A = this chain, B = another copy of it.
Amino acid sequence: MPKGFPTTVPDDGLTTRQRRNRPLLIVHTGEMKGKSTAAFGLALRAWNQGWPVGVFQFVKSAKWKVGEEAAFRALGRVHEHSGEGAPVEWHKMGEGWSWIQRERLDEDADRSARDAREGWAQIKRDLAAEKFGCYVLDEFTYPMTWGWVEVAEVIETLADRPGHQHVIITGRGADPALIQAADLVVEMTKIKHPMDAGQKGQRGIEW
């Protein structure tokens, strides 16, 4: 049997070609590092295909992932100047989302819940407009876990998304219903971590 041959052929009325090019819902979950980094690696492939990349970081701290952000912003500029690759947008909840103009309030759970809901509302608008070819919803499992965003509504919206839009969701503790709905799920498992040997996080590795 050829390598990479599917083990079953589904009865879904699609041709192999249609099935092959179906947009994917991908979930990276598990306790260990690599969930977001692998998602950004996929986004590099999307960029190279000319698919606009939209990153939505559902985290509070702006310290993390500055390396990926700087690199993707540089790739976005490469596209602007030379036409190579694709446009890139990078939005951060930790800074109150770039599209929202308002006074910065104190940190509180209500604000986080509202910010998370606003992030998801923007993603829904972008999905409806088919704005990006690749969405990275980084750490998006947490607002779902905390009930800030409704799991069932996320799944329904993603199932009904138009066109050819890949969506990658990262974060620990992905909801079983989200895993059920996803096309591809990877769990990052810890075998060994420097903190076990008394080493704290470091520049260039953790961010």
Q: Main secondary structure on chain A at its contact with chain B?
A: mixed
Q: Is A20 an interface residue (CB 8 A)?
A: yes
From known contacts A4-B201, A6-B198, A19-B199, infer whether A188 and B186 are also in contact, taking CB-CB under 8 Å: yes
Cβ distance A1 to chain B, nearest Cβ, rounded Å: 12
- Say which residue of B40, B74, B185, B195 sits within 8 Å of A75 (CB atoms): B74
A133 to B, closest residue via Cβ: B204
Q: Known contacts A85-B71, A200-B6; is A188 also within 8 Å of B191 by CB? A: no
The interface on chain A, measured as residues whose beta carbon lies within 8 A of the other chain's beta carbons, has a size of: 75
User: Which residues of A are in contact with B by a Cβ distance under 8 Å?
Assistant: 4-10, 16, 19-22, 24, 27-30, 32-34, 36-42, 44-49, 51, 66-68, 70-72, 74-75, 77-78, 84-85, 133-134, 166, 179, 182-205, 207
